[in-house]
Amino acid sequence: MSIRFLAKKEIDLLRWDACVAADPSCLPYALSWWLDAATEGNWDGVVLDDYRVVMPLPKGKYFGRYTQVQRPSFTQQCGPFGQLQPGEVNQLLKNLPSRYLSFKLPFTDRVIREEVPTGFSSRERTNYVLDLSPEFTALHQGFHKVLRRKLRRNGPAILSPAVPEDIISLYRQSAGQKAGLKPKHYRKIAAIIGAAQINDAAICCRLDDDENGFLAAGFFPFYRGRLINTFAASTPVGYAKEGMARMIVELIKTHGGPGNLLDFEGSDIPGVAEFFRSFGPVERNYLAVEKQGVGAWIGKV
């Protein structure tokens, strides 16, 4: 096995993207267009052998010629992607170049704790994934009885396309402050949505009903059959009328199919996790791996 740490300008992006596209996870986060949008093009990469495995190294703060590696906003799992073999994550982390003063990345759910070498810490992050292969009637039976009762209490709703600006505006008004988002985060999600639309990997939608009007809206990347709950919010009336749950149900109805998945993207927040569990998904947790170095210390000064 050969390990190469490459600056972005040294990477063959076509081969890089082909490796990510062949990964069984069906996650878009390491595709070059996603990384360019999420980091403003500020990322390096690791390539194993002849683009058999790749992993992005998104860059954070700079300290002279040194930098931090950290997860970009709205990017849940950063790899590695490709034909990963046992022991390779361990070797990759042990051989990180000294120019990366600190490292903080979430890995895919294929990476196990035993692969993380001494000197790195790891913690498990919660995620839920629902297999959308069965017919909707079967999926509906798997919903928690409380969720089914809430859905029955509300009438039909209509899912329709939404413009990104309306989704971002709703999120800013309803959830942005609680989530701690700043103007830079809204610029990044706008860039990610735009890149996903160009690459035919974006669902931007809103939910309305005749009685209450606008209930919820969201951006859901849809890549190789994996629908991801990335950026969604409810209106005030939507909170009262189960707008988020109803929007997710409509998405399940319209984007279900053999091999398709709904990725809830978390959560470690108990109330949010309970809401996601009510749809009957399986738990597919992943590791957040970290090594604090000089760069992390400097950043606190």
Looking at residue 221, the DSSP 8-state letter turns out to be: E
Is residue 272 predicted with pLDDT exceeding 90?
yes
User: Could you state, in order of their start, the residue ranges of all structural domains in the chain?
Assistant: 3-126+285-299, 128-283
What would the pLDDT profile of 151-171 be if each residue is shown by its tens digit? 999 988 999 999 999 999 999
139-174 burial, b at 16+ Cβ within 10 Å, e below that, comes to bbeebeeebeebeeebeebebeebebeebbebbbeb
Arithmetic mean of pLDDT, 219-236: 98
Number of C-beta neighbours around residue 37 at 10 A: 25
pLDDT band at residue 293, thresholds of 50, 70 and 90? low
Q: How far is CA 97 from CA 56, 90, 104, in A?
A: 14, 14, 14
Q: Do domains 3-126+285-299 and 128-283 have the same CATH topology?
A: yes
Q: How far is CA 283 from CA 42, 248, 286, in A?
A: 32, 18, 10
Is residue 268 predicted with pLDDT exceeding 50?
yes
Q: Is the pTM of this model over 0.85?
A: yes
What would the pLDDT profile of 71-82 be if each residue is shown by its tens digit? 999 999 999 999
One CATH from 3.20.20.70, 1.10.510.10, 3.40.630.30, 3.30.390.50 for 128-283:
3.40.630.30
What is the spatial distance between Cα 27 and Cα 33, in angstroms, rounded to a whole number? 13
Query: What would the two tokens of residue 87 be?
Result: 């022991």
What would the pLDDT profile of 30-53 be if each residue is shown by its tens digit? 999 999 999 999 999 999 999 999
What would the pLDDT profile of 89-119 be if each residue is shown by its tens digit? 999 999 999 999 899 999 999 999 999 999 9
Q: How far is CA 216 from CA 190, 219, 220, 227, 276, in A?
A: 18, 11, 13, 17, 16
Q: Which is higher by pLDDT, 35 or 298?
A: 35
Residue with tokens 């700043």, as numbered in its chain: 182
Q: What is the mean pLDDT of the chain?
A: 94
One CATH from 3.40.630.30, 3.90.1150.10, 1.10.10.60, 3.50.50.60 for 3-126+285-299:
3.40.630.30
